Amino acid sequence: MSSLPKSVPLAKQMRGSSKVQSSIEAFLARANAFFDLPLGGLSRLFLLVAAFLLIPTYLLPLWNMTMYSNQFPDGLDLHIYTYTLEGGHPPGRDDLREINTLNHYIGMRPLLESDFSEFAWIPLVVGVFLILTLRAAVIGKMSNLVDTAVLFLYFGMFSFWSFYSRLYQYGHNLDPMAAVKVPAFMPPMLGSKQLANFTVYSYPGIASYFMIAFFLLLVVSLLLSRKQVKE
């Protein structure tokens, strides 16, 4: 008789454990069913359009920065592509060279393409996403689409972090022997900021908008296929 009270809690624990296991199995079954959903024809068409939206990102600026001052009222332009840096080229002037000259006076490292490892892998990653999107359109399974969307979201977040880190390093690792002493600063990542006698504007380039449109089409394709299956 003394063992009976002990067996009751044990039985409750076993029933509780069984319920948890059943809930996990039910969740996994629903997840597997969701990932096995077929993509509808309209969703596949959107995926094809999304894939082609990545092609212009090789040709258009990904990000732009413009610096205005009394010395340069028309602004010094810096265009960041997926594979290179390029300054504006008004008549008789190279904006990238002018920016590096100004950076030298305040002890900032010059902007050199060879210092940006991102230029080596970003074009490759964009090409991989183009292939993954075409693959999802051809195979037509929800799992392929979800994988592509999640990976692209991670790629976008990592790219923003990398951009922020670069700007921070350039603004904080200043040469103490520079001709002009300025306190460490953070260049604007998005928007405008007053830095000494310059007003700096930082804003997405056209290629960034193509990438945003690419991701939105992935999400629309996912929602359309889910809705079609429900109906």
The pLDDT of residue 139 is above 60: yes
The pLDDT of residue 231 is above 70: no
The pLDDT of residue 13 is above 70: no
Higher-pLDDT residue of 174 and 11 is 174
Is 201 in a helix, a strand, or coil? strand
Lowest mean pLDDT among 11-20, 67-76, 207-216: 11-20
Q: What is the pLDDT of residue 59?
A: 94
- Give one DSSP letter per residue of 127-167, joined into a string: HHHHHHHHHHHHH-BHHHHHHHHHHHHHHHHHHHHHHHHHH
pLDDT band at 8 (very low <50, low <70, confident <90, very high): low
Query: If residue 65 lies in a helix (H) or strand (E), which one and from where to where?
Result: strand 63-68
Please determine, looking at this structure, whether the domain spanning 39-230 carries the CATH number 1.20.140: yes
In angstroms, rounded to a whole number, what is the distance separating the alpha carbons of residues 163 and 157?
10
Q: What is the pLDDT of residue 137?
A: 94
Which residues have CB under 8 Å from 66's CB, separation 6+? 75, 76, 77, 78, 200, 201
pLDDT band at 83 (very low <50, low <70, confident <90, very high): very high
pLDDT band at 230 (very low <50, low <70, confident <90, very high): low
3-state secondary structure labels for all residues of 92-134: CCCHHHHHHHHHHHCCCCCCCHHHCCHHHHHHHHHHHHHHHHH
Q: What is the pLDDT of residue 45?
A: 94
Q: What percent of the chain has pLDDT over 90?
A: 53
Q: Per-residue pLDDT tens for 36-54?
A: 788 888 999 999 999 999 9
Is 3 in a helix, a strand, or coil? coil
As a whole number, the mean pLDDT across the chain is 87
Q: Per-residue pLDDT tens for 186-225?
A: 999 999 998 888 899 999 999 999 999 999 999 999 988 8
Domain ranges for the chain: 1-35, 39-230
pTM of the model: 0.83
